[in-house]
Amino acid sequence: MERLDKILVSQGFGSRREVQKLIKKKNVTVDGEVVSSPELKIDPENCLIKVGGQAVEFKRYIYIMMNKPAGVVSASSDKREKTVIDILPENLKRKNLFPAGRLDKDTEGLMIITDDGDFAHKLLSPKNHVYKRYYAELDGELSEDMVNNFKNGIEFKDGTKCLPAKLEIKDKHSAFVEICEGKFHQVKKMFKSQGLNVKYLKRVKIGGLELDVKLHTGMSREITKYEKFVIFIGK
Ligand code: URA
């Protein structure tokens, strides 16, 4: 059992104060009864809550796909920089959202934003081998040797060893890369070890979840139940 005001805050109906106002003004019903106390304890999974006559579809957690633009940082909050949370549309904003994994400020593409910590952990742990696929453009020529080097596990100058990765050459200066871990600047450093600089980087797939091509840069939408399921099966 949870407090009604807390439930409504968690579902994006505003701050605790705003929600309490909604309740006091008799805008909220639970199973058909007008509620006047924000402290009322209910089971949100088994009650019909309506706000302004509209049924609230209770979701314990939310899972969002964003096509991250360059120029925003993947953090929940930042004193100076705009974050991926700042650019979410109002209807998807909730408390406790965070990006599941990081993309550099200048990297674009698929970003998952959620408030489900267990899910994020499962997604990011290298143990689970959820592959992240990137499209990269380079400032020099790619070679078949590099494909082997990626496959054997790249070693950075400081001795850090990467797990085996897949390099798929698209043309002389562009390629797809798949990695199942997320070391700091990993893709850029892997190419750097081969004498190449990344000029453009975009994440296009996480596990079995592809970036929706209809989702323009900077846009977000909720992930469907099916998409959430395929993340972990299409590795
Ligand atoms: N690897 C990078 O170098 N940068 C990213 O943003 C993601 C992976």
pLDDT in tens, 132-158: 999 999 999 999 999 999 999 999 989
Shortest-distance Cα residue to atom 3 of ligand 1: 185
Assess whether the C-beta atom of 187 lies below 6 angstroms from ligand 1: yes
Could you tell me if the CB of 186 is within 6 A of ligand 1? yes
Bridge partners of residue 80, in order along the sequence:
none
Query: What is the distance in A from the centroid of ligand 1 to the CA of 182?
Result: 8
Q: Is 23 exposed, middle or buried (0-12, 13-18, 19+ CB in 10 A)?
A: buried
Which residue CA neighbors atom 7 of ligand 1 most closely?
A: 103
**Token pair for 182:** 């997320």
Closest ligand 1 atom, residue 185 Cα: 3
What are the structural domains, with CATH classification, of the chain?
Answer: 2-55 (3.10.290.10), 63-125+211-233 (3.30.70.580), 131-206 (3.30.70.1560)
Enumerate residues 6+ apart whose C-beta is below 8 A from 15.
9
Provide DSSP, 190-204.
HHHTTT--EEEEEEE
- The one-letter code for the residue type at 143 is S
Taking the centre of ligand 1 as the mean of its atom positions, its distance from the CA of residue 215, in whole angstroms, is 20
Q: Are 61 and 115 in contact (CB under 8 A)?
A: yes
Query: In the Cβ-directed half-sphere of 45, how many Cα atoms lie within 13 Å?
Result: 3
Per-residue pLDDT of 19-74, as tens digits, reads: 999 999 999 999 999 999 999 999 999 999 999 999 999 999 999 999 999 999 99
**Interacting residues of 18 by C-beta distance below 8 A, sequence separation 6+:** none
Task: Look up residue 59 and give its two tokens.
Answer: 């979701």
Q: Is 202 in the pocket of ligand 1 (CB under 6 A)?
A: no
Q: pTM for this structure?
A: 0.89
- Give me the pLDDT at residue 61, please: 95
Q: Following DSSP, what letter does each residue of the chain receive, concatenated?
A: -EEHHHHHHHTTS--HHHHHHHHHTT-EEETTEE---TT-EE-TTSS-EEETTEEP---SS-EEEEEEPTT-BSSS--SSS-BTTTTS-GGG--TT-EESS---TT-EEEEEEES-HHHHHHHH-GGG---EEEEEEESS---HHHHHHHHH--B-TTS-BPPP-EEEEEETTEEEEEESS--TTHHHHHHHTTT--EEEEEEEEETTEEPPTTS-TT-EEEPPHHHHHHHHH--
On the question of pLDDT at 78 being above 70, the answer is: yes
For the annotated catalytic residues, the residue numbers are 104
Predicted confidence band of residue 128 (pLDDT cuts 50, 70, 90): confident
Instruction: Determine the distance separating the centroid of ligand 1 and the alpha carbon of 27, expressed in angstroms.
Output: 46
- Verify whether ligand 1 is closer than 6 Å to residue 188 (CB atom): yes
> Band of the pLDDT at 234, cuts 50, 70, 90?
low
178 CB within 6 A, ligand 1 = no
Q: Which of 159, 130, 146 is nearest to 194 (CA)?
A: 146
List the beta bridge partners of residue 66: 111, 220
